[in-house]
Structure 1
Amino acid sequence: TESHGPLGDIIKLFGNFGVDGPHLAVQVVNFSILAFVLYRFAIKPALGQLEERIRQAEQLQSDRAAAEAQLAAAQKTAEAKLIAASDEAVKILADARNSAKQAIEAAKAEAQAAQTEVIAKAKAAIEADRVKMMNEVRGEVSRLVVETAAKVLEQNLDDAQRGRLNEAAVKQLAR
């Protein structure tokens, strides 16, 4: 049976290469079944795993970016806390210095007050000693005056007369 037309020429050409129609149809059906089985049981699961790995890689990238953002925020927070702690330490040191300065000033003032008190007490004691010594000197001078007057007058004075002369001499010396 000779075919006419372009289809016949193609079949004749395939026939020259040893390809016949029924075997070609069986081979096409076999290839289609093989392609379906491979796609269903090999390629589709492999593509699913590939898509899952791609999704996991994207999730890891997202998690990594979030972790980097959290790390940056934590570093900023740590720096802020470190700066705040440094400022607080400076403030505490300044307060301690001021407290020490005030304590030193208070101690100086207290020592100066004690010194002034000691000087005042010493001056009072010196003045009291001076007054006491002046009184003793006056008494001694008046006694000597009375004795001298008694010798000059060559008379013996009784105690009452001596007392009056002593008092008169003390009054004279006090002026």
Structure 2
Amino acid sequence: MDAAGNVAQTFGVYWPNLIAQVVLFAIVYWVLKRYAFKPVIAMLEERRRRIEEGQLNAENIKKQLAAAEAKYQEILSKANTEAQRLLDEVRASGEQLAEQKRQEAIAAAEQISLKAQEAMALERSRVMEEMKRELGRLVVETTTRVTGKVLTPEDHQRIDEETVREMAA
């Protein structure tokens, strides 16, 4: 120990002070470790754990957001497809309904035209008959005035027939 003692004496080491300082250092280290470092390390560990949880939650939220976006796109695509299908159906139904109404209108117009033609034919026949009677009456009356004689029913009949033949020609 001589060499160690010489070295200690050369550097000015006083063993009782050194031992007291080592014991004091151990006590301070133990107190700091127990009452200062342990809570600080626990707090830092808790913060690290919260940060990891936050990162995991952020990743989960990103995954959920991506899934929600994909579902949104799928629903939007389905809705667009359904809307297009409904528009096509409405368009086809509208065209079919328009064609049906057009056919009904054409049929109604043809029916009205036929009825009008029938009515015109009946009216024409009625007017022609009335005109023949009136013309026959006028011819008979004119003949009676011109000839000055009273015509018999046979004369009336004969003049009416001649007038009708002349009008028909």
TM-score range for the pair, normalised by the shorter chain length: 0.7 to 0.9
Match of 2:81 in 1: 87
Match of 2:109 in 1: 115
Letter in 2 for 1:31: F
Residue 40 of structure 2 is aligned to residue 40 of structure 1 = no
Aligned match for 2:16, one of 1, 12, 22: 22
Q: Runs of 5+ in structure 1 lacking a partner? A: 1-6, 149-153
Range moving further from structure 2, 7-16 or 92-101: 92-101
Residue 44 of structure 2 is aligned to residue 54 of structure 1 = no
Seen in structure 2, the aligned counterparts of structure 1 residues 107 and 17 have a Cα distance that, compared at 3 Å, is: same
TM-score (norm 2): 0.73
Deviation at 1:85, TM superposition (A): 2.2
Deviation at 1:10, TM superposition (A): 1.0
Aligned match for 2:3, one of 6, 9, 12: 9
Letter in 2 for 1:78: Y
Root-mean-square deviation (CA, aligned residues, Å) is: 3.4
SS of residue matched to 1:48:
helix
Range moving further from structure 2, 134-143 or 46-55: 134-143
Seen in structure 2, the aligned counterparts of structure 1 residues 37 and 141 have a Cα distance that, compared at 3 Å, is: closer
Letter in 2 for 1:20: Y
Match of 1:4 in 2: none
Letter in 2 for 1:93: L
Aligned match for 1:125, one of 119, 128, 134: 119
Letter in 2 for 1:101: E
Letter in 1 for 2:115: K
SS of residue matched to 1:62:
helix
Q: Runs of 5+ in structure 2 lacking a partner? A: 144-148
Deviation at 1:125, TM superposition (A): 2.0
Letter in 2 for 1:50: L
- What percentage of aligned pairs have identical amino acids? 33
Letter in 2 for 1:67: I
Residue 57 of structure 2 is aligned to residue 63 of structure 1 = yes
TM-score (norm 1): 0.71
